[in-house]
Structure 1
C-alpha cells in the first residue's frame, strides 16, 4: 500500500476514493458529492491528486487481493484502521467524515460496505462506541 504523509492531500484523497469504490463501483453522483465539499480546495485536493490517488488505491487493493478471480477485493480491517489514522487533524476528520457520509448517500443506495467504512471512521476519529447509532440516525435524517 502506498504510504502518504498524515493529513496530506493524498491521504485525504485515498479516504474519499475508498468511500466511492467500497461498494464495488464509482457512481457519478458520488463524485459530484465529493466535488461539492468546499474544504477540499483548502487542503489542496485537486482533480489530478484525486485521480492519481484513486488509481494508486485501486492498484494497491488489486495487488493485495487474495482471490482476484472472485471479483471481490476485501480490505483487511487492520489496514483500513491504519489508513484512517493517516487523518489526524480533528477538524479535517470532521469535514472528511461529513463528506464520506454525503458520498455514500449520493447514489440513493446505502450499501453495507459503505456503512461499515463510515462507522469505522467514526470510531477511529471520534472514539464513538455507538458510531453505528450515530451514522444510522444521520443516514435516516437525510
Structure 2
C-alpha cells in the first residue's frame, strides 16, 4: 500500500476514499458532498489530487486480491494502518466529521458503513459528541 506522511492531506483523503467504497458502490452524492463541504480545501488538496489518491487507493486494494481474484474492500489491518497515519487530534475530528457526512450523503446507511465508522471512532478514541462539539466550536 502506498505510504503517505503522517497527518498529510493524502493520508486523510485515503481514509475518505476508503469510506466511499466501503459499501462497494460510489454514489454521486458521496462525491458531491465533498464539494458542498469544501472538503478538498479543508483537508488541503485539490479535487484532482483527491481523485489521484482515490485512484491510488483502488489500485492498492486491487493489488491485495486473493487467489480467487476477490478484493476485500474492508480489512481491519488495512484500516488500522490507514488510521494510524492520522495522529493529530484535530485532523482526526475533522476526518471523522467528513466521514459522517459522506456516509449519510446517499441516504442509505449500510451495516458495513456503520461498522467501519464505529471502528474508526473506537480506534481514535472519539465519540459522536466529540465530533458535534468540534463542529460547534467552529
TM-score range with shorter-chain normalisation? Answer: 0.7 to 0.9
Secondary structure of 1:75's match?
Answer: coil
Q: Please report how far the alpha carbon of residue 112 of structure 1 lies from its aligned counterpart in structure 2 after TM superposition.
A: 1.5
| Correspondence for 1:75 | 74
In 2, the alpha carbon distance for the partners of 1:45 and 1:96 equals 13
TM-score where L is the length of structure 1: 0.81
Q: Please report how far the alpha carbon of residue 37 of structure 1 lies from its aligned counterpart in structure 2 after TM superposition.
A: 2.7
Q: Is the 8 A contact 1:7 1:87 kept in 2?
A: yes
| Correspondence for 1:23 | 23
Alignment map for 1:71-110 (pairs within 5 Å)? 72-110=71-109
Deviations 1:28-48 (A, max 9, x none): 111112223346414312112
Taking only aligned residues, the RMSD between alpha carbons, in angstroms, comes to 2.1
TM-score where L is the length of structure 2: 0.83
CA gap of 1:46–1:61, structure 2 versus 1, over 3 A, is same
Q: Which ranges of structure 1 fall in alignment gaps of 5 or more residues?
A: none
In 2, the alpha carbon distance for the partners of 1:114 and 1:86 equals 20
Deviations 1:79-108 (A, max 9, x none): 211101111111111111011011011101
Q: Which ranges of structure 2 fall in alignment gaps of 5 or more residues?
A: 133-138
In 2, the alpha carbon distance for the partners of 1:67 and 1:119 equals 30
Q: Is the 8 A contact 2:22 2:74 kept in 1?
A: no
In 1, the alpha carbon distance for the partners of 2:91 and 2:40 equals 10
Q: Please report how far the alpha carbon of residue 25 of structure 1 lies from its aligned counterpart in structure 2 after TM superposition.
A: 1.1
